[in-house]
Amino acid sequence: MSTLLKIRDIRLEGRSDEQWNPIINGVDLTLQKGEVLGLIGESGAGKSTLGLAAMGFTRDGVRISSGSVEFDGIDLVNASAAVKRGLLGKRIAYVAQSAAASFNPAHRIIEQHYEGPTQHGVMSKADSIADGVELYGKLRLPNPDEIGFRYPHQVSGGQLQRAMTAMAMACRPDLIIFDEPTTALDVTTQIEVLASIREIVEEYDTAAIYITHDLAVVAQMADQIKVLLKGDEVETADTRTMLAAPTQEYTKSLWAVRSFERPTKPAVNTGAVPVVSVRNVDAAYGTVPVLHDVSFDIHEGRTVAVVGESGSGKSTTARCITGLLPPKAGEIAFDGNVLPADYRKRDKSQLRQAQMIYQMADTALNPRMSIGNIISRPVQFYTGLTGKALRARVDSLLDQIELEPTQYYNRLPSELSGGQKQRIGIARALAAEPKFIICDEVTSALDQLVAEGILRLLAKLQDELKLSYMFITHDLATVRAIADEVVVMKDGRVVEQGEKKAMFTPPHHAYTDLLLSSVPEMDPDWLTNLLQERGVDNIGDAAVDKM
């Protein structure tokens, strides 16, 4: 094996507030031909910046302040624009996180595919198209002969991500940088993309840097793992060594996140009136039906996890419960009393009973309001407290979510981290003193360590305040951690529901089984075994379609 990429003591700086702040503080990286390196870390650790620097490229407002990047003997830091133009796309390729945002919507997929090879003079247009079709076949895209001639919006997210991988492969590069290629995808789709990326990288002996925050994913893909924390390297090791025996505290904490699990609660008394009961709800957006006969109950002090892929109707169910989308048929009952379908017809005491915590804390908090105002408004609105009593209540809410009141009261949301913002969202929901809270993918935008903190906080609050949660998520690790009951949804129908324990032990409904088995595990052989088990043509989307 020979060394393909050698990065030595690289330092990158970003410009903000009129000064240069360090992003990467002296990281070394060596990549052999055909080797896959996993780069993991929290958001803000500098993973993407380092990945781009490996191409000799920096985003606007970022610069390489010192260090060297040597690609196959070429010094990329000092290379001229012309030399880089000759390399990028041809010998070094990049696969971005969001394929949907990275394809030009005005051109067919294949037109964007052959651009690289023809520009670099690697292949003629006709050859490149033929080669593209072959690559699509290898990446197991449906109808490889025809799919390239569609526009990006005409194919699904997972397919687009694979088309992008094919595009990166078009010139048969020596190195591909994958920047979180599966983060935006559902578990069942993710497997497909992972399997095809791994296969094609192996087949052409391409070296790759695989950037992700998901340890289980990186375990499947990488030969070597490098852990980054705030621009510093924590440790680097062979994948199996790293998984078996991480040496650094930070790495261990990353590994330990998945161990959080609440003790099982006793089963509900048969006669108890559920806090929320969804009864035979049908709903539609305009004339497009979304929900079909959805029914489930949520009892006091319990967490019901609603799982399913995107588009399965999880969030729509939440909108029906809150009254934002009045159901076409069926009803929503609260403590046994049927609520008006439209939220505008509900009175204050009905509205305050059901609160919501949103996925994106950024859009859920008004950026122009201080934290104090955001929390005190619902307190004032529902309880009528003013002056000192109001302030005391807000302070106690901030205490409950484990943020220091004097320090945070006057801050704006933009001055908080993602996890802190999510905590403010929780405090706002608590301010109404509800019995029931809908958590809509509250941890999916957060790093694992932060997400775990939020889950622990929610669990603590549930014990203290006897809250009931409806927990919408697509992440089964979260379900395992926090749920008491599970409702599995697919295409707007409830496929299966029951106690968590029963749900996680076979036999399952076929779809539940598929979901469960698609969650990546930390075992590096997991993907290989799974693919053998399922057979090549029966993974991910293909398996869903067969049901």
Residues of this chain that bind other proteins (CB under 8 A): 15-16, 18, 60-61, 78, 80-82, 322-324, 343, 346-348, 351-352, 355-356, 358, 360, 363-369, 377-378, 381-382, 428, 432
Count CB atoms within 10 A of the CB of residue 506. Answer: 8
By beta-carbon proximity to other proteins, the closer residue of 149 and 381 is 381
User: In which residue are the tokens 């305009």 written?
Assistant: 286
Query: Cα–Cα distance between 273 and 335 in angstroms, integer?
Result: 6
Q: Which tokens hold the place of 387? A: 């002056």
Query: Cα–Cα distance between 97 and 105 in angstroms, integer?
Result: 16
Give me the sheet containing 485-490, strands edge to edge. 354-357, 436-440, 468-473, 303-307, 485-490, 493-499
C-alpha distances in Å from residue 436, one per residue of 303, 346, 359, 420, 468? 10, 16, 17, 22, 5
In the complex, least distance from residue 4 CB atom to other proteins, rounded to whole angstroms? 25
- DSSP 3-state of 259: helix
In the complex, least distance from residue 247 CB atom to other proteins, rounded to whole angstroms? 39
In the complex, least distance from residue 368 CB atom to other proteins, rounded to whole angstroms? 4
By beta-carbon proximity to other proteins, the closer residue of 298 and 364 is 364
In the complex, least distance from residue 289 CB atom to other proteins, rounded to whole angstroms? 23
By beta-carbon proximity to other proteins, the closer residue of 50 and 375 is 375
In the complex, least distance from residue 408 CB atom to other proteins, rounded to whole angstroms? 18
Q: Which tokens hold the place of 420? A: 């802190």
* 8 A C-beta contact, residue 138 and residue 165: no
In the complex, least distance from residue 339 CB atom to other proteins, rounded to whole angstroms? 13
Give the containing element (helix H, strand E) for 15. Answer: strand 3-16
Give the containing element (helix H, strand E) for 502. Answer: helix 500-504
In the complex, least distance from residue 303 CB atom to other proteins, rounded to whole angstroms? 21
In the complex, least distance from residue 423 CB atom to other proteins, rounded to whole angstroms? 15
By beta-carbon proximity to other proteins, the closer residue of 324 and 338 is 324
Query: Cα–Cα distance between 17 and 152 in angstroms, integer?
Result: 38
By beta-carbon proximity to other proteins, the closer residue of 208 and 374 is 374
Q: Which tokens hold the place of 349? A: 């005491």
Q: What is the dihedral of CA 110, 111, 112, 114, to 10 degrees?
A: 80
Q: Which tokens hold the place of 459? A: 């669990």
By beta-carbon proximity to other proteins, the closer residue of 33 and 377 is 377
By beta-carbon proximity to other proteins, the closer residue of 78 and 264 is 78
- DSSP 3-state of 164: helix
In the complex, least distance from residue 162 CB atom to other proteins, rounded to whole angstroms? 31
C-alpha distances in Å from residue 324, one per residue of 296, 341, 351, 357, 502? 19, 8, 11, 15, 33
C-alpha distances in Å from residue 526, one per residue of 95, 185, 219, 513, 518? 24, 19, 9, 16, 10
* 8 A C-beta contact, residue 325 and residue 283: yes
By beta-carbon proximity to other proteins, the closer residue of 75 and 203 is 75
In the complex, least distance from residue 118 CB atom to other proteins, rounded to whole angstroms? 22
By beta-carbon proximity to other proteins, the closer residue of 64 and 200 is 64
By beta-carbon proximity to other proteins, the closer residue of 348 and 501 is 348
